[in-house]
Chain A
């Protein structure tokens, strides 16, 4: 290219110089120079026209075998064009593959921009949630899937979890929607059909509820007769002990069944637990009364740091307190101390049950809320624990939007803290949490 350029410049210069010299020989150097310039211009204009025609018609035969700068320009142009075509073909193939693979996905995928407007979506998202590729471009995603839970999910921008909603298209179908942020402010919405899972868990719940219910009536008959036998003076002395044991076990089975029923009721309840006004301190005091006459339990103290009122279902909160307290009593020696406390502030409400009991192995803490999970199988059978209490606590708290935090040190004691969201509190602004903490420190 450089060579051709030099040649071109040299050629033009020579031509102009030649014209000037010939003109000079005839005594008219400027006319000679002008003539040479016109010849050069005419030649270049002709070349330009040829090149333009070649571009227009795509027929480069005339240029292919010519030489000089125009042939060079042509060669360069052709090379770039060829390379561009090659890349374009490659990208097209790649794009087609990507598009085909998203088409083949069984899950719906919708690309969204920073304002959650639809950029593009795959056919599965149409089948699952009714997104129409071309028509819905630029539409806000929650204008098409209008479930309030989903709208709230978008607004909260907490995309580490997913939402489960009823399908907008088919009755009885359930969808799992998850937003995955990627790149600079772009989002991918994934839609999965979870009807089968919802159906299975519903079946399991119903099975547990029905089985417990069916077990209850024969058990009532058995325990009725056992009760009669235990009080009957004619029962032979050798049978007295077995009858008492039977009575105890029947009582235990009754508790298990009623707790299973309670658990399945909590699990299947879909509606909001409501907003009854609950005086937590009063509930704590009445929970303590149950153990007031017993000599073999640890000392139970109540710390009411906040007068805040909790909004929720009183019966469920009562059962949370009763379960946590009965756990604490069972695992704390009579010399120990149990503290029930309620404090609230702008950050939320804390209901805590702390004991100085035997503590829990940290490895077992995550498993505590599983059904029928017991830290020490051998001993808790004797003292009445059946392993459903914390599962009930977890579900009841979940319905109130609260969380259960468990901390424990083996040999020193455990603390179970229920953290309620601030929108379930009334009068929380009176005593902020930090001040409450300071007050505690003073007391200690």
Chain B
């Protein structure tokens, strides 16, 4: 497998265009990371203003997606890239879709945070949500780092991490169901908590997807919908 090297083209402009595309994906990633961070902070600290600000700022993520998408189409049309360049473009187009979804989930969490801020707060101030949120945030950071460094090792570990997030989500749902059975009046609030946890769990899935694109981009093989353990075994051989 040829390693990805953006400097190996005869046309300097083409090098620059690909490099710019990669940079703008990471800029978008940075924006989404900040949005998610603020959304989680808003839920944990009960800051409704911050939550609404997150919801309001989602348009920036959307604009970036459209912009990068257009640039990708332009490069495809004018340069007709092949091999690793083509994989890079394809991976970018898919990555930004997932990033945009992460942005949407963050918007949703921000909105839920502003709603939850108006209700009574449990004594543990949503400790489980904070833990799940930090876990997912770390996954998003690792995914973007893997994308920046073309580090498949890190990408594989994020893909594995997603199972833990699913487990944590499962536990929160169970806990929420218990709360609702104990106290019927809390249902409205706990439902919102469940939605927030659900959004976080979805973000974990999107991070996993992004890492799969990174693996595709670098190694040229598609690891979606397959058992990651098989690949680990294959790689060790």
Contacts and interface: CB of A to CB of B under 8 A. Distances in A.
Do A and B come from the same complex?
A: yes
B213 to A, nearest CB: 16
Contacts of A269: 49
A271 B113 CA distance: 15
A156 B9 CA distance: 30
Contacts of B29: 146
Interface residues of A, number: 20
B34 A147 contact: yes
Interface string A132-166: 10011001101110111001000000000000001
A270 interface: yes
Name the residue in A130, A143, A144, A272 with the highest tally of chain B Cβ atoms < 10 Å from its Cβ.
A143
A365 B87 CA distance: 61
B31 A148 contact: yes
B39 interface: no
A149 B105 CA distance: 22
A62 interface: no
Interface string B103-145: 0000000000000000000000000000000100000010011
A135 B145 CA distance: 11
A298 B197 CA distance: 61
A384 interface: no
A41 to B, nearest CB: 50
A148 B34 contact: yes
A146 B31 CA distance: 8
A6 B29 CA distance: 75
Contacts of B151: 135
A142 B26 contact: yes
A151 to B, nearest CB: 5
Secondary structure at the A interface, as helix, strand, loop or mixed, is: loop
A136 B149 contact: yes
B33 interface: yes
B30 interface: yes
A139 B19 CA distance: 10
A296 interface: no
Contacts of A146: 26-27, 29-30, 33, 144
B18 interface: no
A242 to B, nearest CB: 45
B30 A151 contact: yes
A130 B33 CA distance: 16
B208 to A, nearest CB: 19
A135 B148 CA distance: 11
A269 B50 CA distance: 9
A168 interface: yes
Contacts of B26: 140, 142-143, 146
A30 B31 CA distance: 90
B34 A143 contact: no
Interface string B84-98: 000000000000000
Nearest to B148: A143
Given A146-B29, A147-B34, A148-B34, A271 B53 contact: yes
Nearest to B26: A143
A171 interface: yes
Contact of B148 (A144, A271, A272): A144
A311 to B, nearest CB: 13
Interface string B166-203: 00000000000000000000000000000000000000
Interface in B11-66: 19, 22-23, 26-27, 29-31, 33-34, 37, 49-50, 53
A148 B30 contact: yes
Contacts of A168: 141
Contacts of A140: 19, 23, 26
A272 B50 CA distance: 9
B53 A148 contact: no
Interface in A381-440: none
A152 to B, nearest CB: 10
A166 B134 CA distance: 14
B134 A171 contact: yes
Contact of B149 (A139, A171, A270, A272): A139
Contacts of A271: 49-50, 53
A148 B50 contact: no
A147 B26 CA distance: 10
Given A136-B149, A146-B26, A148-B27, A272 B53 contact: yes
Contacts of A132: 149
B148 A139 contact: yes
A271 B35 CA distance: 12
Nearest to A168: B141
Interface string A111-141: 0000000000000000000101001100110
Contacts of B33: 146-147
Contacts of A147: 30, 33-34
Contact of B27 (A135, A139, A151): A151
Nearest to B35: A148
A180 to B, nearest CB: 22
A269 B151 CA distance: 39
A139 B149 CA distance: 8
Contacts of A166: 37
Contacts of A144: 145, 148
A96 to B, nearest CB: 28
Interface in A333-368: none
Contacts of B134: 171
A322 to B, nearest CB: 23
Given A148-B27, A151-B30, A171-B134, 20 more contacts: A135-B149, A135-B151, A139-B148, A139-B149, A140-B19, A140-B23, A142-B26, A143-B22, A143-B23, A143-B148, A146-B26, A146-B29, A146-B30, A147-B30, A147-B33, A151-B27, A168-B141, A269-B49, A271-B53, A272-B53
24 contacts: A130-B145, A132-B149, A135-B149, A139-B148, A139-B149, A140-B19, A140-B23, A140-B26, A142-B23, A142-B27, A143-B26, A143-B148, A146-B26, A146-B33, A146-B144, A147-B30, A147-B34, A148-B27, A148-B31, A166-B37, A168-B141, A171-B134, A271-B49, A272-B53
Across the A-B interface, give the 5 residue pairs with the lowest CB-CB distance, nearest first: A146-B30, A143-B148, A271-B53, A143-B26, A148-B31
